[in-house]
Chain A
């Protein structure tokens, strides 16, 4: 049987089947093996899909051979093939990492459940990205969210439970808003297929239910992507979750939510409807700027590195939304490429923090004093990640910042150019809090020896750190895909 035409379905089905398998097998090593195979297969499939889309254009796959718009369509274009690669790639690296990482962070009898939830979350995120069906997005969003709540709650710290609960509440509100929005759209168009919906909306554009749908979807998705000030759940969730979970969620969950927003704005509503009838542009711009500055400032005053970088994530999401608010090809390019670059960077940083937590028993700034001597490689990796957050040339972050500045300049918005530059200075301040602690302070008195980092953790982490530098120097993959995806979103979506 030739599986090639069914790759879109397999992309989701492989991890989805792996999930119950891990429960049935129970034994944690076997569960790990199953999850690992599933995540690596998912990566291979996503790369194949990306390659196919790059060469032959959009892939449309009818689930169960029911043609769209009646059946569920999986529709893969430049944009979501890019997201699929990001999600599957991060998962393929975090999974081997998690094996050793959860050893000290999750109770042993729950390990197989960890893998179950991990692959389930992966299936959900991949599903959101791949599907061309509005209701299907909601379903997969719930799949990924519910498993994410469980993953966060697995953290040893009792506060993890509270963090998960907080995320559950906020996430459910977000999902509810999203489903209300989708319902309104269904009411007005009679279809759930995104592309179809986009076409039919043309005749009812500007009516009150459609505007309400836009509002509901914006708020709902903004909750999931942690747009300031709807980010409240994020710092706790990232701080108290097991390290592997923080790394995976920070690099993928919010990014997929951004994708959903892009998809609804540009494929379903169309940019003219979103930005012409409502002051969306100004609103998004303001929220993005507020997030960039407020969250970065809060980050500066954190004493725990996981929390510090969680706030940094909120700020970086501001950049992504800022690019979106320009409603221009270069702005969107900046958003999409930053979505990827920041995913890689934050994934690497949280994985490094996992190594640090294992090595010195915590991630507070006092714990990491003198880390430059005690864990030289991990510290150096953190510096590289930090430089990428600041947007220093030679790292992935520079590429995104370059395009963001260019996009702001195209708008003729000089003040925004300086705002972007200023906010990257705030990033420099919080990154330098780590650098000074790690390199310029002596280790704390009562710290014991450094626990060695198992190779299962160090190798995937190193790969991701190198990826930060790689994507800062060779931009053909990231920029090539992002600019084409942006052009397709703005130009050829209607």
Chain B
């Protein structure tokens, strides 16, 4: 058995070792894919060993080494990070299965590089999840950006290069120009960047400075895709779909909102923020992002683009719920990280399956496709319900908590935003489901006969759709972790 400290290290070492082995096995695709799956399974096992301890209130931590005097590369497991690590590592297994089907089904080039970068990205994600201070988080955040760049530009075309430029440009510039100065400033003011229960900035700054610093942090964490720094997410859609699925629905974007929540809870401190009223503006900005991104999604015909804008909108739910600072809405924010992850990965899986089987990318081409791909579109429908926030899906629970939190704090604007965006969500997801199942397929003869996508892909998307429903009936683990976050 691993000690908790060993498990923390192993959560990064396992995917790293996996990356090395995958690159060595590059010439033997079957072995290479087996290594990916085994690595993912081992990683989930390792991460799971930490769960009972954290649920029981344990907070294992470890200092790897000292980068500068007083500035350590340190790791600490707390409920939020535990949940994030579980989601990312759990979905990696499913995603690997899916990727194998997708990459082979579409005969993509550079598959070894693809799987290596994926494993590296997961290692960075684990580092973010378990980081014990803001500096460590920042470092792994940058590693995640860099290791996903080759995945975004995977196709190597002019379009992929442009997408990659926007991706890297926005993520790097927000983190260097906003987050890094914020980090240095926090270190300068507090003399530490450790994530501490209750925050480290209490009584150190004036309300105005707090609000400004919070702005530097949340905009600096560009991965949270708060407007106006959201454009990298649609740009990243040039990547192969498995990348969009795991990274741009789960690992990368969740790393963003995870960091936002983590910074607000453990660096600023909920009470400090509430007393100063420093996060009121953030509710407005996040609320605006929710609505604006939904409106764009409504007009997008490209399926992946619509999903990307839906992601932007859903991410801001988390940011807004956190910015409300009410205990219930914080629980909602944490649950939504989990709920949106399983739901959105299903949607992307379905989009990729449609592309692989039918070579269709636009919503307007999907008439009647549900009859040929019932599993895929069935899963899509379930996940869409979760996005809208209807039972019996995970999205309902998180939304329930968020609305309760907003009402409890009598933030009627936030309530309005949630209600309005629910309508908008329904407005851009339900037509797809309707088209797929109830509109007759076009009879112009351009269509070629096809059935479902390759089996691994169907298995993967069915599994995540089932997860969306299961999370509705058994939300105990995420809920317990979220509760621990607000009552440490």
Contacts and interface: CB of A to CB of B under 8 A. Distances in A.
Nearest to A407: B184
B153 interface: yes
A440 B176 contact: no
A479 interface: yes
Interface in B156-197: 156, 160-161, 164-165, 168-169, 172-173, 176-178, 180-181, 184-185, 187-188
Interface stretch (B135-143, B303-311, B444-452): B135-143
Contact of B177 (A394, A401, A421, A474): A421
A473 B73 CA distance: 9
Highest count of chain B CB atoms <10 Å: which of A391, A417, A479? A417
29 contacts: A387-B146, A390-B172, A390-B176, A391-B176, A393-B135, A393-B143, A394-B139, A399-B68, A401-B180, A405-B180, A406-B184, A409-B185, A414-B181, A417-B181, A418-B177, A421-B176, A421-B178, A421-B180, A424-B176, A425-B173, A428-B168, A428-B169, A428-B176, A436-B161, A440-B153, A440-B160, A474-B65, A475-B67, A479-B68
A206 to B, nearest CB: 35
Contacts of A394: 139, 142-143
Contacts of B172: 390, 425, 428
B65 A473 contact: yes
Contacts of A401: 180
Contact of B139 (A393, A417, A424): A393
Contacts of B52: none
Given A393-B142, A394-B143, A405 B177 contact: no
Nearest to A404: B184
Interface string B374-408: 00000000000000000000000000000000000
B208 to A, nearest CB: 13
Interface string A386-421: 010011111000010110011001100010011001
Contacts of A421: 176-178, 180-181
B74 to A, nearest CB: 14
Highest count of chain A CB atoms <10 Å: which of B153, B177, B187? B177
A374 to B, nearest CB: 15
Given A428-B172, A432-B168, A392 B146 contact: yes
A451 interface: no
A422 B177 contact: yes
A439 interface: yes
- State which size class the interface on B falls in: 20 to 34
A439 B146 contact: no
B368 interface: no
A458 B410 CA distance: 66
Contact of A479 (B69, B142, B181, B187): B69
A376 to B, nearest CB: 11
A406 B161 contact: no
A54 B114 CA distance: 48
Interface string B114-142: 00000000000000000000010011001
Contacts of B184: 402, 405-406, 409, 417
Interface of B: 65, 67-69, 135, 138-139, 142-143, 146, 150, 153, 156, 160-161, 164-165, 168-169, 172-173, 176-178, 180-181, 184-185, 187-188
A387 B176 CA distance: 12
Given A428-B172, A473-B65, A439 B150 contact: yes
Query: Interface residues of A: mostly helix, strand, loop or mixed?
Result: helix
Q: Which 4 A-B pairs have the closest CB atoms?
A: A393-B139, A421-B177, A405-B184, A417-B181
Contacts of A402: 68, 184
A409 B183 CA distance: 11
Query: Interface residues of B: mostly helix, strand, loop or mixed?
Result: helix
A421 B183 CA distance: 12
Contacts, number: 69
Contact of B142 (A392, A417, A440): A392
Contact of A440 (B67, B161, B173): B161
A259 B146 CA distance: 35
Contacts of A391: 176
Interface residues of A, number: 29
A291 B172 CA distance: 22
A57 B479 CA distance: 60
Given A387-B146, A440-B156, 11 more contacts: A393-B135, A394-B139, A399-B67, A401-B180, A406-B184, A421-B177, A421-B181, A428-B168, A440-B153, A475-B68, A479-B68
B181 A473 contact: no
B222 to A, nearest CB: 13
B187 A440 contact: no
Nearest to B189: A409
Contact of A425 (B65, B177, B181, B188): B177
Nearest to A393: B139
A424 B205 CA distance: 28
Contacts of B180: 401, 405, 421
Contacts of B161: 436, 440
Interface string A466-494: 00000001110001000000000000000
Nearest to A442: B156
Contacts of B69: 479
A390 B180 CA distance: 13
Nearest to A414: B181
Contacts of A390: 172, 176
A323 to B, nearest CB: 14
Nearest to B150: A439
B176 A425 contact: yes
A425 B222 CA distance: 15
A228 B321 CA distance: 49
A469 to B, nearest CB: 13
Contacts of B156: 440
A202 B139 CA distance: 47
A406 B139 CA distance: 17
Contacts of A479: 68-69
Given A421-B176, A479-B68, A406 B143 contact: no
Contacts of B143: 393-394
A424 B176 CA distance: 8
Contacts of B68: 399, 402, 475, 479
A479 B139 CA distance: 19
B176 A406 contact: no
A417 B212 CA distance: 15
A405 B173 contact: no
Contacts of A474: 65
Contacts of B67: 399, 473, 475
A26 B335 CA distance: 77
Highest count of chain B CB atoms <10 Å: which of A393, A432, A439, A474? A393
B451 to A, nearest CB: 36
